[in-house]
Chain A
């Protein structure tokens, strides 16, 4: 058996190279002196300097971070409720419809979600006068709608493998369900909530298509700035920005992984 593993391992190595070489090249060329992204002419950090002087980009980044944080917080609440519904109330009328609604945003093409929400917001503004104009609120609502599905998947997996005996013990001692949920269940699923929050945050920070549909004039998010710059060709500033994003995301994933792992070790 051992002898035959090398073809498999070479495919694995090729796969990881395929996944990581583009990102590594992106990072490498962010430190390139030359404006030509593909010609190496010496080490420099000047693009980072330019990046931090680009106020249009910084404003967009700040807006994106605010949207992402608001989105993640709401998505964790709604996603956790949905996970509770699916795991703790196994049988209810309309369960199949509920599951369809929760799973659909995971695979639904962005252009459909973006277009349909924009048309809803326009119709609502005509009908009831809210939301008044489009921007922070509409983008956040759109992001919550698809992020909560991802949170529900993560929290649901955690709830399914949860040992119920602690909750049952608390119930037997007369604790009310809400108390049991807040004092016992929530701390036990906290790592999943953190992972869900971080995932919702990065999904929101990353979204171009949906935000482009539901944004109004004056609410340009970071991916929209990146997109309009990238359409004109490669730019070392975008490489520098990409490097910063990769660094932040790697940190976030490490925190989430350590949280989930520490939890696993404690049990």
Chain B
């Protein structure tokens, strides 16, 4: 290659680098990263009756004096007030229990799909993905008609003679769990499936040859090897559910107070932007650890990819 062609190739590559890396970076920096700085900033302000409804953190006084006012009251309130402490605890509890429920239902499903005949596999997988594309709001709405006191589930149970008086499920934590598992199940199944199809069947054959019973082989070989899939799926469920708004709002009752709903209420009903911002910062702080864990896992999985 001549020198000028080499120069040409090098400058082409530099340009490609600039566009491919630069443009998404600038966009996400401006519209994803910078907003968090502003949220942190406003979480330290005080709520006032003004437009916009928060105080400025600094004022220039005469003769070069800068006055800075930082209000930690919002954070103190979040951690000390019983209502917020309860919402914090309850959000984590709902997210954790839902993740376990998704795993209990999702693992056997992913395993069944991964071990089914290959002509079935694609169709079964498509059927898992399809609801994920359908409107989330509408799928949550569907459960209102099913779970309400004069709803379809109670009609069915009464007709079967299993119960004598209708159960009240809607507006209880049970309804929230049903809604969350229903909405987030595909997020658990997909990474599990991806992981399980990559397992080498030779390992199981070897175990069988050595006289290992199938159930024992499953727990000693398949489950440990699918741990990355289990963790990835769990994070994809746990992280968004901690901040979930629509499901506790439509299906939950007054006791299903979760951080996402509280943030919404502080913002829209109470117009307390600083408090809503403080809640967002707390939520973000909780989610950083699982998020970084997920990221590490993803990188490890990629390095191991054949």
Residues of A within 8 A of B (CB): 1, 4-5, 8-9, 11-12, 14-16, 18-20, 22-23, 25-26, 29, 37-38, 78-79, 81-82, 84-85, 88-89, 92, 94, 98-113, 115-117, 119-120, 122-123, 126, 141-142, 144-145, 148, 152, 176-178, 199, 202, 205-206, 208-209, 212-213, 223, 226-227, 230-231, 233-234, 238, 241-242, 245-246, 249-250, 252-253, 257, 261
Answer whether residue B75 sits at the interface, using C-beta atoms and an 8 A cutoff.
no
Q: List 9 A-B contacts (CB under 8 A).
A: A25-B145, A38-B148, A92-B21, A102-B28, A105-B28, A107-B240, A111-B280, A112-B284, A115-B267
Using a CB-CB cutoff of 8 Å, which residues 258-278 of chain B contact chain A?
260, 263-264, 267-268, 273, 276-277
Given A85-B21, A206-B136, CB of A119 within 8 Å of CB of B35: yes
- Which residue of the partner chain B has the closest CB to A119? B38
Residues of A within 8 A of B23 (CB): 78, 81
Top 5 A-B pairs ranked by shortest CB distance?
A109-B243, A116-B35, A22-B142, A82-B24, A120-B35
Contact present for B112 and A11 (CB under 8 Å) = yes
Given A81-B19, A85-B24, A119-B277, CB of A38 within 8 Å of CB of B131: no
Contact present for A226 and B33 (CB under 8 Å) = no
CB of B228, distance to nearest CB on chain A (Å): 16
Answer whether residue B96 sits at the interface, using C-beta atoms and an 8 A cutoff.
no
Contact present for A101 and B25 (CB under 8 Å) = yes
Q: How far is the CA of A112 from the CA of B219 in the complex (A)?
A: 39
Contact present for A23 and B148 (CB under 8 Å) = no
Given A84-B20, A104-B291, CB of A22 within 8 Å of CB of B135: no
- Which residue of the partner chain B has the closest CB to A77? B23
Given A101-B25, A227-B137, CB of A120 within 8 Å of CB of B31: yes
Task: State which of B12, B142, B250, B298 has its C-beta within 8 Å of the C-beta of A242.
Answer: B142
Most buried by A among B12, B214, B280: B280
Contact present for B42 and A16 (CB under 8 Å) = no
CB of B129, distance to nearest CB on chain A (Å): 7
Contact present for A249 and B134 (CB under 8 Å) = yes
Task: State which of A107, A108, A116, A253 has its C-beta within 8 Å of the C-beta of B130.
Answer: A253
Q: How far is the CA of A15 from the CA of B19 in the complex (A)?
A: 44
Task: State which of A15, A94, A109, A126 has its C-beta within 8 Å of the C-beta of B260.
Answer: A109
Residues of A within 8 A of B79 (CB): none
CB of B282, distance to nearest CB on chain A (Å): 10
- Which residue of the partner chain A has the closest CB to B186? A19
Contact present for A238 and B126 (CB under 8 Å) = no
Residues of A within 8 A of B245 (CB): 109-111, 209
Task: State which of B13, B27, B133, B214 has its C-beta within 8 Å of the C-beta of A252.
Answer: B133
CB of B221, distance to nearest CB on chain A (Å): 15
Q: How far is the CA of A18 from the CA of B126 in the complex (A)?
A: 16
Contact present for B145 and A38 (CB under 8 Å) = yes
Using a CB-CB cutoff of 8 Å, which residues 1-52 of chain B contact chain A?
8-9, 12-13, 16-17, 19-21, 23-25, 27-29, 31-36, 38-39, 42, 52
Using a CB-CB cutoff of 8 Å, which residues 70-89 of chain B contact chain A?
none
